[in-house]
Amino acid sequence: MSSEDIQTITYRFHRKDEKFIWLEAKSQKVLSNDGKNEEIICISRDITNHKKKIKKLEKAIYIDELTGVYNRRFFNLKFNEEGKQNGQTEKLLSLLVIDIDYFKAYNDTYGHQKGDECLKIVAQALKGSVRETTDYVCRIGGEEFCILLPHIRKEIAISIADNLRKKVEGLKISHSKSNVSKFVTISIGVSTMVVKNSMEIDQNEMFSLADQALYRSKECGRNQVNYQ
């Protein structure tokens, strides 16, 4: 029997003590001793610690240390994954580019420690307002965030963006030096693309469109959403 005949699966097991562990099971068909019948040999092992190490490593690589959301490295990786379509059906992908309004003035007024706290609060508000397992909130630098929204069309993406804008202003984080509100606000640019069979989205083009929309939001007074 070759190694190709070995089937491997991993699954989570609920123990009697209410704890979960991860198991890896390897199975292979073999002939019985009489050479007439097939038997299956299965060996399972506890890989819970291995899973924890992988998760810890992924956290170190892909999580922004300050805010707890994904970082730019993860954004680039996930964008490449979501921007491809190998099947026959069309696939939608929306992108939000988000900037905290007048954040330099916020830092100058309240200090960098308060600025870091503001970034954490805003990041977690964004993360808590989108789909946990399918949407990706990423800090790509400074006070700028991106959110990838797979399978979301233009109108829904704009609605999500406006809800996020209201959510952040509703946090009522004081910002006395803002020219648009007495609280911290965000401006958002939105772009949407359709990935058709066997094509690949140009990441730079899609990001550029969302960034242009963000620029328009700033030019038109901030604390708003625009689409490109």
On whether the CB atoms of residues 190 and 94 are closer than 8 A, the answer is yes
Count of positions (residues) in the chain: 228
* pLDDT at residue number 86: 63
200 noted as active-site residue? no
Is the pTM higher than 0.75? The answer reads: yes
Q: Write down the pLDDT at residue 3.
A: 47
pLDDT given for residue 75 in this prediction = 96
The pLDDT value given to residue 11: 86
Residue 220: what pLDDT?
A: 96
Nearest partner of 126 among 58, 82, 70, judged by Cα = 70
70/49 Cα distance (integer angstroms): 23
pLDDT block averages, 10 residues each, the chain of length 228:
71 84 88 76 87 76 95 93 74 95 98 98 97 94 97 96 98 97 98 81 92 98 97
CB atoms within 10 A of CB 65: 9
Nearest of 177, 24, 38 to residue 108 by alpha carbon = 177
**Catalytic hit among 65, 132, 143, 169:** 143
Q: Which domains does the chain have, with CATH numbers?
A: 3-53 (3.30.450.20), 66-227 (3.30.70.270)
